[in-house]
Amino acid sequence: MNILRADNYDQLSKIAASKIIEKVRANPKATIGLATGSTPIGVYKLLIEDHKTNGTTYKQVSTVNLDEYIGISRDDPNSYHYFMREQLFNHIDIPLEQTYIPNGMAEDFLLECTRFESVIHELGGVDVQLLGIGQNGHIGFNEPGTSFKSRTHVVTLAESTRKANSRFFPSLDDVPTHAITMGIATIMDSKEIILLASGASKAKAIARLVHGEVDEDFPASALKLHKNVTIIADIAALQLV
Ligand code: F6R
């Protein structure tokens, strides 16, 4: 794993955005894996800015997202569909039909998981996958204990994850209990992975990722088995490394 140290969140966002822009310029038909949450918002802002100023085009790009809550419609402001449109898709020239996010309102979730895996397969795999990290080491919504062999599946969200995400909801009770997520094996199939971490709240997780064992109790540790992973983290997130 390659570690890039950023002075602060803005610099972290710049480094990550320039890597993605470079990828899209080199391969205008690239498939980019995206994440939601607070951490990638700065990256998305810079992709929009670059699209508007320098004309980088996403007309032929496809995107796949890591996860979606179950039981929240795509037009609900708390859905990851809504988040992605607001934070990125509505502001660049990507056709929405080339953006793929698991459907949290599917009638048959097993079928939806298989469908999502086929989408990624038909796109030829993910060229570069952006990841955040949970304080408990989750990637996507793969909570501690998830098999490294897992593919897209339905998960019960850990209480700590629901609490962390409750900042976006009126109350903890409103946070969904289940989600659909790419599995760890699905994430590991990506040709390249960029993991972002910002702030002191991620310091323990980053230290464990860098120095700890490969262990299913710490999902992000699977990344140690991947050949092309870059961690981009700011000083606060790297303070225990
Ligand atoms: C989001 C996702 C999660 C987040 C993680 C960190 O699609 O899959 O794993 O990346 O919870 O979230 P933030 O960035 O809000 O700290």
Given a cut of 90, is residue 160 above it in pLDDT? no
Number of H helices, E strands in the chain: 7, 10
**Tokens in use for 17?**
């955005």
**Which numbered atom of ligand 1 lies nearest the CA of 199?**
16
pLDDT bucket at 175, cuts 50 / 70 / 90 = very high
Ligand 1 centre from 72 Cα, in Å?
A: 17
The predicted-structure confidence for 107-132, as pLDDT tens digits, reads as follows 999 999 999 999 999 999 999 999 99
Do residues 182 and 67 lie in contact, with contact meaning Cβ atoms separated by under 8 Å? yes
User: Could you tell me which of 193, 181, 41, 59 has the C-alpha nearest to residue 126?
Assistant: 193
Query: Mean pLDDT over all residues of the chain?
Result: 97
Domains of the chain, with CATH numbers?
2-231 (3.40.50.1360)
Q: Provide the 3-class DSSP secondary structure of residue 155.
A: strand
Residue 232 phi/psi, 5-degree rounding, is -110, 115
Determine the residue of 67, 80, 133, 136 to mutate for testing ligand 1's pocket, defined as the one with the most ligand atoms within 8 A of the Cβ atom. Answer: 133
The predicted-structure confidence for 186-235, as pLDDT tens digits, reads as follows 999 999 999 999 999 999 999 999 999 999 999 999 999 999 999 999 99
d(CA 108, CA 154): 11
d(CA 139, CA 59): 28
pLDDT bucket at 161, cuts 50 / 70 / 90 = confident
d(CA 47, CA 50): 5
pTM, two decimals, is 0.97
Ligand 1 centre from 37 Cα, in Å?
A: 4
Q: Give the mean model confidence (pLDDT) for residues 66-77.
A: 96
Residues with CB under 6 A from ligand 1: 35-39, 66-67, 132-134, 138-141
Given a cut of 90, is residue 88 above it in pLDDT? yes
Rg for the chain (alpha carbons), in Å? 17
User: Could you tell me which of 180, 193, 134, 181 has the C-alpha nearest to residue 159?
Assistant: 134
Residue 117 phi/psi, 5-degree rounding, is -60, -40
